[in-house]
Amino acid sequence: MSSETTNRPDRTFKVVGLPGDGIGPEVYASACQVLDVVQDRFGVHVQLDPQLIGGAAIDASGSPLPQATIDACRQADAALLGAVGGPKWDGNPVDRRPESGLLKIRAEFNLFCNLRPIVTHPALHGFSPLKPDRLENVDLMLVRELTGGIYFGKKWRKGDRAEDVCSYNREEITRVTRAAARIAQQRDRRITLVDKANVLETSRLWREVVHQVIADEFPDVQVENMFVDAAAMHLLNRPADFDVMLTENLFGDILSDEASMLCGSLGLLPSASLNEEQFGLYEPVHGSAPDIAGQGIANPYAMLLSVAMMLRHSLDCPEEADALEQTIFACWNEGILTRDLVENGLGTQDITEAVCQRLSARKSSGHYSGNTPGLHLQ
């Protein structure tokens, strides 16, 4: 192999591949091609172990998260997921819905810390529905609690009534606060805690715990409080003012889709879901987009940026992560874009080839600044 890094200890990793449904397999295939280049060019060996999740798993085994997938993840350093869901399974009972597979894998592996970086890029300012002047210098990290709250509380339905319970305990809030604070320490040391403490008791517990953890353990980090309704507004009005945004599960879900519009398309947003053992599930924020599945036009950038996050946070390869991100940004500068952004845009395969070509031609593994190391939660 033409690796410049052969003098380093063997860097071989196991990653479970979870193509999933809809456009999931298409963007997953793009990730596999790019990982081949990462191997050839930089000597990072990723052994992919493809497994089933979501609707594809329901069709094959009856379960959205088969035991074989869980067992494979236990042996792996990370998992890379395309997307789950589709109209075919919409009428299924809750434990046989594709989304249940996603929620189960998050719970099974304690993936409590969900990172969704929102960074605008000058070449894409014109594609956002917001005015370009609002988009300058937007670089915020949304830290979403991912294994608690209303998503995982008791749920019931009886006749004409239904209930979803939102519950959090001190420990759940403490660990994600520590994660957010460590990220803030690598950035501008400012956290905006987003809640609804004027109405919700869980939010009042969040405020108490977050402020206590920061005061006791991270005195160099500042915390400001913001109600979620105001945060939704300020994200559009003055997005560049945020550094780290910390919030609970449901608010984080909603705000991350909103924030994706700053970047130009939901097809550009990656995510990492981490536990304390450095295992992570990496996936685009977008869904399975069944309306365009199978046409070869899906935007692979969110998936490829998720690969970069995986290199950084679970595989300890920050230089290669930087190299991949820089390559993607260079493609954006060149106007190498899909149809969700430009009319007559390129297809998934064309974009993938452009990224692979430029990545393999890079002189070194990146201009690693030391600013974006991985996050170790233990």
What are the catalytic residues? 151, 196, 229, 253, 257
> Closest CB to Mg ion among 35 and 298?
298
CB atoms inside a 10 Å sphere around CB 92: 14
- Per-position x/- string for 233-262, each x denoting binding to Mg ion as judged by CB under 5 A, each - no binding: --------------------x---------
Please tell me whether residue 145 binds Mg ion under the rule CB under 5 A: no
Binding residues for ligand IPM restricted to 98-137, rule: CB under 6 A: 99, 102
State how far the Cα of 190 lies from the Cα of 171, in Å rounded to an integer: 22
What does 99 interact with, of ligand IPM, Mg ion, none (CB < 5 to 8 A by kind)? ligand IPM
Whether the CB-CB separation of 243 and 118 falls below 8 Å is answered with no
> Closest CB to ligand IPM among 102 and 181?
102
Whether the CB-CB separation of 194 and 228 falls below 8 Å is answered with yes
Q: Provide CB contacts within 8 A for 69, sequence distance 6+.
A: 16, 18, 51, 52, 53, 57, 105
- Per-position x/- string for 51-90, each x denoting binding to ligand IPM as judged by CB under 6 A, each - no binding: ----------------------------------------
Binding residues for ligand IPM restricted to 271-290, rule: CB under 6 A: 285
Determine how β-strand 244-247 pairs with β-strand 78-83.
Answer: unpaired
Least CB distance to ligand IPM at residue 244 (A):
18
CB atoms inside a 10 Å sphere around CB 104: 17
| DSSP class of 62 | S
Least CB distance to ligand IPM at residue 212 (A):
27
What does 102 interact with, of Mg ion, ligand IPM, none (CB < 5 to 8 A by kind)? ligand IPM
Q: Which helix (H) or strand (E) holds 357?
A: helix 348-360
* Residue 361: HSE in the Cβ half-sphere, 13 Å Cα cutoff: 8
> Closest CB to ligand IPM among 54 and 318?
54
State how far the Cα of 304 lies from the Cα of 300, in Å rounded to an integer: 6
> Closest CB to ligand IPM among 13 and 151?
151
Whether the CB-CB separation of 286 and 338 falls below 8 Å is answered with no
- Per-position x/- string for 237-256, each x denoting binding to ligand IPM as judged by CB under 6 A, each - no binding: ----------------x---
Q: Which residue is nearest to ligand IPM (CB)?
A: 99
> Closest CB to ligand IPM among 285 and 336?
285
Q: Is 48 exposed, middle or buried (0-12, 13-18, 19+ CB in 10 A)?
A: middle
Q: Residue 295, by phi and psi: left (phi above 0), alpha (psi -120 to 50) or beta?
A: alpha
Task: Give the interface size with ligand IPM as a residue count (CB under 6 A).
Answer: 4
> Closest CB to ligand IPM among 37 and 146?
146
Whether the CB-CB separation of 113 and 377 falls below 8 Å is answered with yes
Least CB distance to ligand IPM at residue 250 (A):
8
Q: Which residues are near ligand IPM by CB under 6 A?
A: 99, 102, 253, 285
